[in-house]
Amino acid sequence: MVPQHLKQVIQRIHDLPTLPRTILKITELVNNPKTSAKDLAKVITDDQVLTARLLKLVNSSFYGFPQKISTVTGAIVLLGFDAIRNLLLTTSVFDLFSNKHKANKDLQEKFWDHSLGCAIGAKAIGSFLKSEQVEELFVAGLLHDIGKIVEMMILPQEFELAVQKTRDTPITIYQAEEEVLGFTHTEVGRVLAEKWNLPSKLTKIIAHHHHPAKAGRFAEEAAVIHVADIFCRALGLGSGGDERMPPLEPDAWSRFTFSSAVIDHLLQEIDRTFYDISSVLVATKAEDKSVSSMPIHG
């Protein structure tokens, strides 16, 4: 069942990018509980680039594993099937969108900075809440604004117009998108996520990170992203297209009721980690372009 206004979105966006077949295959495998580590490893190792990238990432300080992981099977059983899927999925998303659109390069980089900041923020909040899914929250943070990237690629003029609107009038990018495009990046993100068959948790978070209460049983996760998004705006990490704070949803905030000391702690943590990671990222990019284009290196 597709709501009316989403049909409109789909009609206007004919050419949503597609994920590589390997990633689709991996998603399918992970969705099947009977899949063994061997089955999954076979699909990954068939793709040498993917294999190299996976091993590099699982050995990065993001996971902080005390020893070296040298086989794909080892990585799967150590980190879990879901974690591997999320990892490969995220790298592929980055592949799809990075360096494809020269015109908006500057804005795009700011977007990714914002996404990275939000990912770090979500992870920090998740750790503070002792959540078991800090890694998923990180991925959700990275992908939450994926709809904006799509808009930028497919409807560059309209999107530019929307961005301009936020500068001329006191409205957020979310409102400007509605006015100019008739839909927002959350809806585009949702259509894309569904097309890609992303896990429903990710899809819901992408679709509802501005209104977490609508994310159903993933409302808590969506609220984490929502708050992380606002934290990043406060810290001025990257840009979401506008230079404005999205309105804070009281429902989402009341879930956590962080004290001001906790907020200070989280903001400092996010700021520090962001600069740590992005400086490593710059170095890694320069040193190894062929293997990685993803900012998960700690």
Residues in contact with another protein by the rule CB under 8 A:
28, 30-41, 63-67, 73-74, 77-81, 83, 129-130, 132
One-letter amino acid for residue 111 of the chain: F
Of 68 and 102, CB closest to another protein: 68
CB atoms within 10 A of CB 78: 16
Contact 278, 206 (CB under 8 A): no
Q: Which residue in this structure is represented by tokens 């679709």? A: 207
One-letter amino acid for residue 100 of the chain: K
Of 26 and 227, CB closest to another protein: 26
Q: How far is the CB of 58 from another protein (least distance, A)?
A: 12
Of 79 and 176, CB closest to another protein: 79
Q: How far is the CB of 211 from another protein (least distance, A)?
A: 26
Q: How far is the CB of 124 from another protein (least distance, A)?
A: 14
Contact 262, 245 (CB under 8 A): no
Q: How far is the CB of 35 from another protein (least distance, A)?
A: 5
d(CA 32, CA 66): 30
Q: Which residue in this structure is represented by tokens 């993917």? A: 50
Of 129 and 235, CB closest to another protein: 129
DSSP per-residue letters across 210-263 = TSGGGGGGGHHHHHHHHHHHHHHHHHT-S--SSSSPPPPPHHHHHHH---HHHH
Of 30 and 119, CB closest to another protein: 30
Of 8 and 45, CB closest to another protein: 45
Q: Which residue in this structure is represented by tokens 């990222």? A: 281
Tokens found for residue 54: 């996976």
d(CA 90, CA 139): 7
Of 127 and 169, CB closest to another protein: 127
Q: What is the dihedral of CA 110, 114, 115, 119, to 10 degrees?
A: 150
Q: How far is the CB of 79 from another protein (least distance, A)?
A: 7
Q: Nearest to residue 47, comparing CAs of 24, 74, 14, 16?
A: 24
Q: How far is the CB of 72 from another protein (least distance, A)?
A: 10
One-letter amino acid for residue 188 of the chain: V
Q: How far is the CB of 169 from another protein (least distance, A)?
A: 44
